[in-house]
């Protein structure tokens, strides 16, 4: 499980006007919720938040220093300006050991498929993160997907994964993670073979008009 540290302060004033003042000072308004607690308004340093978010994933646990105590959280929502890079608001969810949560964990594809090495195939990743249900203390950094034995035309599905103990995938077991497609040149060649060279165009049959008969 990966983690990062961040400091925050409780924000007494709420509303659009108060949030605007927070941003003008170079900070980001936010809120923390979860574990039956009332949502609590926060202020986070804008530069520090941007730095952390540039190097973590959605499954990274954020140790949030707040009022002299540290609370384990996940970043649940980030609101950004429509065309600027500015972060407008951030939501944190408090984590409690024993209370399972739903979180997206990156997939890591390992190995070179046999169909790539021997057949020149192209592997297409159709799912990049796996949604899982897990205890916060057991959140994995990533889920490994071994693709080394993948053959041309074959694919790997959720049911093929070996998940760590206590981790439950929240997907249909038939959902595809990746597929090994044939090389483009081979596909184009196969398509060309279906059309016979010099094949005659179909004859147009139409009703003969009286003038045609003459």
Clarify whether residues 138 and 181 are in a common domain: yes
133/115 Cα distance (integer angstroms)? 33
Clarify whether residues 115 and 182 are in a common domain: yes
Clarify whether residues 54 and 124 are in a common domain: no
| Cβ-based neighbour number of residue 107 at 10 Å | 18
Where residue 81 sits, what CATH number does that domain have?
Answer: 2.40.240.10
On whether residue 18 sits in a domain, the answer given is yes
Q: Where a domain ends, among 38, 61, 94?
A: 94
Q: What is the pLDDT of residue 31?
A: 96
On whether residue 166 sits in a domain, the answer given is yes
Contacts of 128 (CB under 8 A, 6+ apart): 106, 107
Report the predicted TM-score, pTM, of the whole model to 2 decimal places. 0.76
On whether residue 211 sits in a domain, the answer given is no
On whether residue 199 sits in a domain, the answer given is no
Chunked mean pLDDT (size 10), the chain, 214 residues: 90 89 94 88 94 89 92 93 90 92 95 92 95 94 95 96 94 97 63 54 52 48
Under 8 Å between Cβ of 25 and 18: no
On whether residue 204 sits in a domain, the answer given is no
On whether residue 203 sits in a domain, the answer given is no
On whether residue 202 sits in a domain, the answer given is no
* Count of domains forming the chain: 2
Q: Where a domain ends, among 75, 94, 113?
A: 94
Of the candidates 162, 145, 154, the residue with the CA atom closest to the CA atom of residue 116: 154
On whether residue 186 sits in a domain, the answer given is yes
Clarify whether residues 129 and 46 are in a common domain: no
Where residue 111 sits, what CATH number does that domain have?
Answer: 2.170.120.20
34/175 Cα distance (integer angstroms)? 31
Clarify whether residues 126 and 89 are in a common domain: no
Clarify whether residues 105 and 189 are in a common domain: yes
Q: Domain of 57?
A: 3-94
Of the candidates 145, 149, 144, 146, the residue with the CA atom closest to the CA atom of residue 121: 149
Query: Strand 27-34 to strand 37-45: parallel, antiparallel, or no bridges (unpaired)?
Result: antiparallel
Q: What is the pLDDT of residue 202?
A: 53
């Amino acid at each position: 499980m990966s983690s990062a540290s961040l400091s925050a302060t409780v924000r007494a004033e709420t509303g659009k006007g108060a949030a605007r003042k927070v941003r003008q000072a170079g900070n980001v308004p936010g809120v923390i919720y979860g574990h039956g607690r009332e949502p609590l308004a926060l202020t986070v340093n804008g530069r520090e938040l941007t730095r952390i978010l540039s190097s973590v994933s959605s499954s990274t646990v954020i140790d949030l220093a707040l009022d002299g105590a540290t609370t384990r959280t996940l970043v649940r929502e980030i609101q950004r300006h429509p065309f600027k890079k500015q972060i407008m608001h951030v939501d944190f969810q408090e984590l409690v050991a024993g209370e399972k949560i739903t979180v997206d964990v990156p997939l890591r594809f390992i190995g070179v498929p046999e169909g790539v090495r021997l057949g020149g195939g192209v592997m297409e990743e159709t799912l990049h993160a796996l949604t899982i249900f897990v205890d916060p203390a057991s959140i994995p950094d990533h889920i490994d997907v071994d693709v080394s034995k993948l053959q041309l035309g074959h694919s790997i599905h959720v049911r093929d994964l070996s998940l760590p103990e206590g981790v439950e995938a929240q997907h249909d077991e038939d959902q595809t993670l990746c597929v090994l497609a044939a090389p483009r040149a081979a596909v184009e060649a196969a398509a060309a073979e279906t059309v016979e060279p010099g094949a005659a165009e179909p004859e147009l049959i139409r009703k003969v008009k009286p003038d045609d008969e003459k």
